[in-house]
Amino acid sequence: MRKKTVRDIEVQNKRVLMRVDFNVPLEEGRVTDDTRIRAALPTIQYLLERGAALILMSHLGRPKGQVDEGLRMAPVGARLSELLEGPVRVLRDCLGPEVEEAVEAMQPGEVILLENTRFYEGEKKNDPDMARQLAALGEIYVNDAFGAAHRAHASTEGVTQYLPAVAGLLMERELETLGRVLEEPAHPFVVILGGAKISDKIGVIRNLLDPADALLIGGGMANTFLQAQGHNVAESLVEEEAVVEAQALLVEAGQRALRLLLPVDVVVADDFSAEAALKTVGVDEVPAGWRILDIGPHTAEEFGRALQDARTIFWNGPMGVFEFAPFAKGTRAVAQAVADSDAFSVVGGGDSVAAIQQMGLAERIDHISTGGGASLEFLEGSPLPGVEALDERQD
């Protein structure tokens, strides 16, 4: 990786402003999944052990540029304090005199967590004044928020205009791992894509047509491809505006040595509900008024066979409506097949990661990415503003 990292800088007695991705789920004032917090611990501990005073900043949820009491960072700070087994001071703002005073009084080894950066409209607008005020809090900037690296926000890109800017250990690992998948995968290289929309993943599909050996498509996005092939998918979710694009991708895949596998059977329901009536049918047998909510068992078996000999696997997106238990079987079957494979495996995206974790398979996956959208944009070859803005190594 050509970007500087925390290993390339001296942090003793320095105030380090660090962007983390602590956008975690909360329930009744408690963090319900601390995966993203744990992912940042190696960088946090690395800096603290070397005598830095650490100022952490993150967004949380979508407060739309105003204070939302339900999206304050206090519960996140409490969980971080437990994980660090040490105090974390959570401030009620991320800008202003009180923040500046608290930061000025910091000693090496201390940790401050700023308030939700998205309480300010200037965050998403990458407002130079907000970026300048944030940068003034530190002497060095570290970006360890890969999940937000595809956003040019004040806390991810703007601050780099005013401070030396380097990658954290998590950011480094994400870029190196995804770079390996994109640039030098061991073959056969199998890509699994799911989720609702093909429009979110067209760039990824097109960029992976050459390096991938097989592309397995499930989830709602498979419906658009099935309709593009002429199948009647009844009331299933379809992106009508993307059907022509799907047809073009099918033609392009056919012109290459790429195997593009779509569902051969599906689980359908008479309503979008966990309590709906359901049955398994072939892709040509979807009843009028019904909708596809999961891949069927024959499809899961076919996908599993395609994964058996893989040496590199990338998976993003569920195979069905994973939040409804009756329609989670396809996603779980794929999760098991990925874990059982001897391939170098990378999983990204909320529901696919959730399936891996719920089934206790996380330790059998080589890399679980913390960035769904960021990992997809990286794999489609798009520059990530939060990465592009970091300082380059000179060696």
pLDDT category of residue 372 using cuts at 50, 70 and 90: confident
309 close to 276: Cβ distance less than 8 angstroms: no
Candidate CATH numbers 1.10.1060.10, 2.60.40.10, 3.40.50.1260, 3.40.50.280; the one for domain 6-170: 3.40.50.1260
Report the distance separating Cα 352 and Cα 39, nearest Å. Answer: 17
User: Would you say residue 61 has pLDDT above 90?
Assistant: yes
Summarize pLDDT for 301-336 with one digit per residue, the tens: 999 999 999 999 999 999 999 999 999 999 999 999
Residue 1, pLDDT score: 67
Question: Which residues are catalytic, by number?
Answer: 36, 197, 350, 373
Residue 358, pLDDT score: 87
Ordered by start, the domain boundaries in the chain are 6-170, 177-379
> 6-170 and 177-379 share one CATH topology?
yes
Summarize pLDDT for 88-118 with one digit per residue, the tens: 999 999 999 999 999 999 999 999 999 999 9
- Under CATH, what is the fold of the domain 177-379? Rossmann fold (3.40.50)
Q: Does the pTM of the predicted model rise above 0.85?
A: yes
User: Would you say residue 135 has pLDDT above 90?
Assistant: yes
